[in-house]
Structure 1
Amino acid sequence: MDHKSQWHERLFGQQLLKCDTNSPKSGDFLCVATPEVLQNVQITGVYFSFANISQQSDEFTKKLKVLYERLNQENCEVKKFEVVQVVLWANNDVFSDFENSHRDSLVGLPWFAVPFSEIDLKTRLSRRYRIKSGVPTLVLLDRDGGTISVSAQDRLLEDPLGSSFPWRPRPVDQVLKDVVLQKGGTFSKEHPCTKPEFRYSDLPDAVRGFYFSANWCPPCRAFTPQLAEVYRLIRKKEPGFEIVFVSSDRSAESFEAYVEGMPWLVVPWQQAGVRAELAQLYGIRGIPTLLLLDRNGHIITMDARTELAEDPMAQNFPWKPRAVNILTERFANKLHDYPAIVLFVDGEETELQFAESVLSPAADSYYKKHNINFNSAPEDFFSNCEDDHYLQFLIGLDSETSDILRDLIGLDDVVPLLVGIDIPNRRFAVMEYGVEITVDSVSDFVERFQKGEVKFIELNERVGEEQS
């Protein structure tokens, strides 16, 4: 079995529940091997439902069931459409009967589901596809596990019989092909020599940003002036850089008031269909969202807002994914899903350079070995990996985030300190004291960490106690 055909298990685990096999006596579902379910399927739908918001999920489930049965009317060797349901809970602090609700959500459905016990797997899936709590969501994947759409639920509501299924999105240049972009209120001031009409095709061959925001949204109103300042800063270095604003405003008056202070281009208010299609194309789950595209239209980052907050002078613009990153809250949150190699050092520039110099070779080697492509879309980041044991490579500077992580694990306050952290398996390992941290020793530690040949410590033990 080649590595592309293994994506089923990496994504959904080894077994799936067959929803129409629930036993009245035991309440158990039949388990089927995941590859057996999905290996001969053209399109896989990942359906995220919410057990304790049953009315909204039930209505969408009915529509999805009609589509499923319609697409699979013919008994072919290659199945046209299969669904894997992922049952989640919104506001689960007020809902207690999780397991019974999970079973009730699935009984009698014609497709498959991730088992109730796979809590961590479901959490990773919801993070991977940026699922918004309480919003039933349908993600469509092609035969190789590549993402077709992260918001196909909207298209299903528009086209319930699936006449255009699988609703492959148009590329952005096609979506905006016939749109004359509006100029923000201060656009001409920032662009003194410009043509009277601007289309997307007129933009320079450079990095482009799409800013999804609205006047009624307080975080948006707070972020927009910051973005305008950084936008001007970036354009001094990269004059071809441009932003297109996509509004979620609720009235034309609110929209016009908002764009009055904007120095970039704007999708006009009357182009409601275009604005909606852009939001679907990029799977926008909330605002404000700032994403960046490279000159070929490929996503560089979906989270340029956070990148900007961490790099307000835009020194690392356009914030392409890197093999080695500074340990910030954003990367610390990923520790719940993926293990990491963390090198703690002082915050001085020379120490940062040292950390990058010894971590980068090991990181580059690891990502090359495991076929991890930094240039793919965020949700497809791991689809071509040979396995799902993804490692982050992080530098812990003298910061609050580093202090919190040290306290969580129980690490001594010494530098430099190299640690392998595996929160999903509740364990960690520390490079032996006295060993010089070099390119070779780091690479050796990473190799042994991957193979499980280091001395692991349970997360509830302290390093000092282990070594005393």
Structure 2
Amino acid sequence: MREEREMKDDDFQAMLNGDSDQQAVSSSSRISSLLASKDRDFLLSPTGAQVKLFDLESKVIGLYFSANWYPPCWNFTQVLVGIYDELKTSGSNFEVVYVSSDEDLDAFNNYHSCMPWLAIPFSDLETKKALNQKFDIEGIPCLVVLQPNDHKDNATLHDGVELIYRYGIQAFPFTKERLDILHEEEREKHENQTLTNLLTNHDRDYLLGHPRTEQVPVASLIGKTVGLYFSAQWCLPCVKFAPKLASIYHKIKQTLLENGDDFEEDFEIVFVSNDRDQESFDSYFDTMPWLALPFGDPAVKELAKHFDVHDIPCLVILGPDGKTVTKQGRNLINLYQENAYPFTEARVEFLEKQMDEEAKSLPRSVLHPGHRHELTLVSEGNGGGPFICCGCDEQGSGWAYQCLECGYEVHPKCVITVADPASTGNLDS
């Protein structure tokens, strides 16, 4: 089984070089039908030079839907540039085509100048609109990958952004066969996951404590429930969430102590920093009561890939056996505070039932001073779902008060009710 999954170095290099017979099949007609217009058969380089569509024949092509004005696009563009350059250096047959959602020509030019790949001209609104409709683009950034032998869309891949974040260069050439290999390797890695192989490497078997010179052995965390806190000082939501998490952390510790448990052996958090320099890391970590991986440690990027983390803050919870309990720790903290501990499925199910019971006594609708329209109580099943609370700017799910006119949503706990006899009545009425 393992021999079938493994790829020999020569085979993988041939794949990077585009040497397979299948990839030699001409795709120029399909590429032209997608990317050309009635008076244009070229794309633009970052310098403004015209590159004929014929030059994209037999290449794996990523259609990159993005925009200058959206920060997540900038973040992913930096990642994609690194992948693109590495693949080009290895001689692969990979090309990216930028499909812009920029607001004006200057924004397009400024953004495209930071990219090493081609672009559809900003003025060609018709082609860009047609591509958005054909590939059903609902959000950006989005990377749609076309295979050179894909003439019927049966090999088109729509989740290139997620795959790049998760696998990096290893995702190339984005074929089903390659992704099956990676998925199986990932499954095995998660099955064999332990606290030791997650948080240590051949140079380090400790974490930083307080003061930062203190070295706390990773082995001392074995048997605990551990939260991996992906965060950074430059990230405003992180800075807002960190004090809340610290308060919950202390409350969980205190509760375990009051229950007679040896709390030092039960719960811990490890800061996984995405800070941009040592000084920022130091000042941010000094505000935290828990442990941390050293700044710039290779494990930081490995953990982000392993848990598919590309939005922060993120709190991944590991059980006492080192296996993943949930990647939704932040959401559970926001919903249930210290009651979320130990974050297991059984605990969450209990809390959800408890919340459903409590919701029966909540008014069906309220007037809230933070919004001009009446807010209606909704559950996840009838329109609630995951949301960002407009009151505290934190995640939520399950029950919410929602404006049915404009989508404004708040946690029930964040509602400040304005008295109005017409808006009273509960779920049992």
Provide TM-score, normalisation by structure 1.
0.43
Highest RCO, 1 vs 2 (Cα 8 Å, sep ≥ 6): 1
